[in-house]
Amino acid sequence: MRDTLVLNASFEPLSTVSLNRAVVLVLQDKAVVEQAHPELRMRGADVDIPVPRVIRLCRYVRVPFRRRAPWSRRGVLVRDRHRCAYCGRRATTVDHVVPRAQGGQDTWLNTVAACAEDNHRKANRTPEEAGMTLLRQPFEPTPADAMLLSLGQEEIAALPDWLSRDAA
């Protein structure tokens, strides 16, 4: 996966995002391409743009300093790129690693994206109790990541197929 560097409107580097998210931000006029790969272009029915290496947000965003990113279900799905933490298939639900019935909280470190089948199978059990293995550990996004998540989260799910491929 090739990542794209994101600059604030003030040109200060903020974070990196996936190529898909970078393209979506550009297509939605939320960012402009500052530097592109010389040879590569992304082409679709109505679109023909250079593959961005660096993009810059059109509006300045104030990044909270050391503030924790607020937890949300949608944020968890975007953080995990809509991939199930147990099987890797497309996830549409959020699973509590330690179930709420056992005192598990709505936190970044206790929640993962999960497909409906695995979420149902796991039910009110921990992964150990259910005999299921986490493919990756949940993590807390940085505030800058959370800001970018909030910019892109609706649009990622609606990406056309031709953009969903990684231009590798």
**Could you tell me how many residues of this chain bind Zn ion (CB under 5 A)?**
5
Stretch that binds Zn ion, among 17-25, 52-60, 85-93, 142-150 (CB under 5 A): 85-93
Give the E-state strand segments of 58-136 in sequence order: 93-96, 111-114
- Scanning 23-31, 43-51, 69-77, 81-89 for contacts with Zn ion by CB under 5 A, the matching segment is 81-89
Integer Cα distance of 151 and 113 in angstroms: 19
- Is residue 84 at the binding interface for Zn ion, with CB under 5 A as the rule? yes
* Binds Zn ion by CB under 5 A, chosen from 77, 86, 108, 148: 86
Q: Are 96 and 119 in contact (CB under 8 A)?
A: no
Q: State in angstroms the smallest separation of the CB of 117 from Zn ion.
A: 6
Residue 118 touches Zn ion, criterion: CB under 5 A: yes
Burial 12-36 (b: 16+ CB within 10 A, else e): eebbbbbbbbbbbbbbeeebebeeb
Nearest to Zn ion of 56, 83 (CB atom): 83
Q: Which residues bind Zn ion (CB under 5 A)?
A: 84, 86-87, 115, 118
